[in-house]
Each structure stands twice: as structure tokens, then as C-alpha cells.
Amino acid sequence: MKVTIENIISIMRVKYSLDISCYEESFLVKTVNYRVAESQCGTIDKYIAFLRSNTYESDLLSDSLNNYYSEFFRNPLTFLMMEQIVFPKLFSEKSSHSEEIRIWSAGCSAGQEPYSLAILADDYRSINQKNVSVRIFATDKSERELQSARKGIYHLRSVQNAKLQYVNKYFSNSGEFYSINANIRDLIDFSLLDLLEESGGAPPASIYGDFDVIMCSNLLFYYKPEIQKRILTRLCNSLVDGGFLITSEAEVGIVKTFRKFKQYAAPAAIFIRQ
């Protein structure tokens, strides 16, 4: 199968100018097998011929490699630890120095993650009467996903993990669809950014980076170790000293191999830059 995957990588690179070699091999194999079945080619050899002659299939394969699934307050343990540990620390430190809290949602898909962060921060700020401003920068490599995020309209199934008090306070609904309130949308700047760009840094809109929190969740494990390291280096360089990196629980082992981060709130996937 390895030679076959290399053939597919070559076709995507040479014919369609798409580099899929960055993905972890087992994930790449699984995705190709899925496309073989979906395209009804029957065999991998027939699929390779089909891919070589069909531009639309190259788009479908590329899109299948980008998992844009998300939901509000995904990984509930992580958000609980943020509410109980991370935000109390940050709001206390920032209020004493009259500074803002800066957050980057890296790989934000259709916006559920940054909106969850904004809701959590705003709720903590209002309950604890903290006069601290919060700015969230959300990025993704898909303009289509960003357009959905800016609209802030979601089906009921996307908000099912959110507390009822959050749904009542921060959404308006029409039938099965829920819209984010304007005061929460205004906290977030959405922009196009590919984390795999070798020369990249923080989101341009943030000007200088220096984030207190970066959430990059359910993304690292799709890539090869060398790509994981490149992404982690970029995120580390964008954090302030003592800033927090948040991933998914499935990515804890990946981050632990990167010596500049130390797990802060085990078993949650919350790390602090050393």
C-alpha cells in the first residue's frame, strides 16, 4: 500500500499542485480507502486512474483530508478546567496590570471553538465582575468555513454540549437553528491562515502575537511527526511566557514530546509554556 500511497501523493502534487505528503500515513491510507469506496472504483488501481483523470475527485480527496467537524464546548473536561483554573488565573493577573486577555483559536473550522471560548470568557467576566477586555483571533485555512463562522448560525445538534444557561444567554433561535448574539461575535476576528506555512507566525490581525491562550484541538494527530513539531514551534513562538496551549486529550502524548510545554491541568489537555 505504501507504493500506492506514494503514487497518489505524486499525482496530487504534480497534476493538481496539492501536497498531501504532510499527513500521517495511516490517516492518509484510511482516507484513500474511503474515497475508493465512495467513488465506486472497486480497486485501488482503478481509483488511481480515476484520480489522474478527474479534477473533481482530487478536490474530494483533498477535502476528505481536512476534518472540519466541530461542536460547541467539545472536550467538556478541557472547558471545565479553563473555567476553574485557567481563566481565574488570567483574569486575576490581567486585572492587576490593566491588560487584555489575548486568545488564538488555531484551526477554528466553522467557529464553534472560538465562540465557546468567547462565551466562557464573557460569562466568567460578568459573574466575577472583572473589568478585563478579551480579544480572540480565530483562523482556518478554509475560506468556506470562515464564512460560516462569521455568520454564527448553527443547527441544534452543534450546541447540544452547551449549558442551557449559555444557550439562553448567548443565542437566539429560530426553529432548529441558533444564532450567536452580536456581543459575542464582536469579540472575535476571523481570518484566513494555514498553519503549515513554513514562514508563518501569528495571525496578521493580531499584529504581534503574544497570546495568553492558544487552542489548537483535534488537528495535530492528522500530521506526520515533523509537521506536528513545526506547528507546535509556531504556536510556542506565538505564546507569552507562561501562556497556555490547549489541545485535545488524544494529543497529550504529542505535546509531551515537545519540551517547551508542561502539562498544567492533567488529565485535561492544557499545557503551559515553560
Q: What is the pLDDT of residues 48-104, one digit of tens each?
A: 999 999 999 999 999 999 888 899 999 999 999 999 999 999 999 998 787 899 999
Q: What percent of the chain has pLDDT over 70?
A: 99
256, 246 Cβ separation under 8 angstroms: no
Question: What's this model's pTM, rounded to 2 decimal places?
Answer: 0.93
Q: Which of the four pLDDT bands, split at 50, 70 and 90, describes residue 199? A: confident
As a whole-number percent, the residues of the chain with pLDDT over 90 amount to: 85
Q: Of 2, 6, 138, 8, nearest to 62 (Cα)? A: 8
Predicted confidence (pLDDT) at residue 222 exceeds the cutoff of 90: yes
* Cα–Cα distance measured from residue 201 to residue 193, given in angstroms and rounded to the nearest whole number: 10
Peptide bond into 267 cis (omega under 30): yes
Please state, rounded to an integer, the average pLDDT across all residues of the chain: 93
Please say whether the beta carbons of 136 and 185 come within 8 A.
Answer: no
Whether residue 260 is predicted with pLDDT greater than 90 in this model: the reply is: yes
Residue 197, pLDDT score = 87
pLDDT of residue 1: 65
Instruction: Provide CB contacts within 8 A for 38, sequence distance 6+.
Output: 60
Mean pLDDT, rounded, for 11-33? 93
Q: Mean pLDDT, to the nearest integer, of 38-55?
A: 93
pLDDT of res. 9: 95
pLDDT for residue 243: 97
d(CA 98, CA 219): 34
Which has more pLDDT, 83 or 265?
A: 83
What CA–CA distance (Å, rounded) separates 13 from 130?
A: 51
